[in-house]
Amino acid sequence: MNDFDRLDPKLILSAVESAGYLTTGEYTQLNSYENRVFDIRLEHSRAAISPLERVIAKFYRPHRWTREGIHDEHEFLQDLVREGIPAIAPLPLKNGRTTLDAEGYVMALFPRVSGRMPDEFLPGQLKAVGRTLAQIHNIGSRRPALHRPTLNVATYGWPALERLERFVYPELWTRYEEACIVLLEDIEETLDQSSFIRIHGDCHKGNLLLGSGGQDGAGQFFFVDFDDCCNGPVVQDFWMLLSGSLEDDSASREQDEICAGYEELREIPDEWHLFEPLRALRIIHYAGWIAQRWNDPFFQQIFPAFQTYNYWLDELTRLERIADSL
């Protein structure tokens, strides 16, 4: 049974109205792999908690996070917004909280922010992104996320590898497992967890939204989707923003620009040696995540290559290349 089989229009709209927002009955489902997210149109109402025309309703996948873990995400976002940092914090609900129980689903509402995801960064934009990232890390360093995972191999590596044995092509499994063991053992020895802070955790271009306003009316980047926020190394929020490895000229230039903005507000982390190991951990964890969700027909539709030989050969090649570079 799909985790979201019971999430029908009646339940979605009833949950939003129970939260204190009167709907018109119109909604649009937005792209989201892990959760279910809807753009909900609202009626004008003096009784509404906030005078909004639309809200974004997020129904969390059951059993992924504890309620305390979800509130850690919300508290991080609220911390950022209170400091004037461009993030999108959850809206207050009628029950006085930021989450609502909806027949077994946990729902939160967010304001709808207009903007677009960048296809590529224009000159100067990465410097602005680096400046905002430094602000996020300054706030994140104030206290840990008590109910969120720590980004290490015990959480993100070994469990994923264990799930993958039944998916990797048998003739590739031995090499795949050997490469992963080399990588995970190296990461285990290299990561200094004493330096970990609250981070975004999934900081790539797809989780940046270029909105209006900002300096000189040029627009500002909102950091969105803190669903994977965790305690981890600062550099985790850097490497996914780059076009490739640090050996690539374009990625090196991008790194320089991000750092130019970052160092205006925070010391640049001395963790660049973790770029490729963290990339490997991401590859392993991402594949393990797909494997964990494979019983969901939606995942089989959006990742049809996951059970092909070429998919696993490509994954193996990438992992062996990183392992050989250690």
SS3 155: helix
What residues does 150 pair with on adjacent strands?
231
| Spatial contact of 291 and 167, defined as CB atoms under 8 Å apart | yes
- The DSSP 8-state label assigned to residue 122 in this structure reads P
Residues in the chain: 326
Which residue's entry shows tokens 């964990």? 292
Catalytic residue flag (residue 228): no
What are the C-alpha distances in Å from 300 to residues 76, 294, 304, 305, 315? 33, 6, 6, 9, 18
Nearest CA-CA partner of 120 in 253, 25, 266, 265: 253
- DSSP class per residue in 272-306: GGGHHHHHHHHHHHHHHHHHHTTTSHHHHHH-GGG
Catalytic residue flag (residue 202): yes
Spell out the residues 6+ positions from residue 120 whose beta carbon is closer than 8 angstroms to its own. none
For the chain, how big is the Rg over CA atoms in Å? 21
d(CA 147, CA 124): 36
CA atoms within 13 A on the CB side of 25: 0
| Spatial contact of 276 and 322, defined as CB atoms under 8 Å apart | yes
d(CA 96, CA 73): 17
Nearest CA-CA partner of 211 in 87, 56, 108, 46: 87
Instruction: Indicate which residue of 3, 225, 228, 237 is catalytic.
Output: 225
d(CA 228, CA 84): 22
Which amino acids are annotated catalytic? Answer: 202, 225
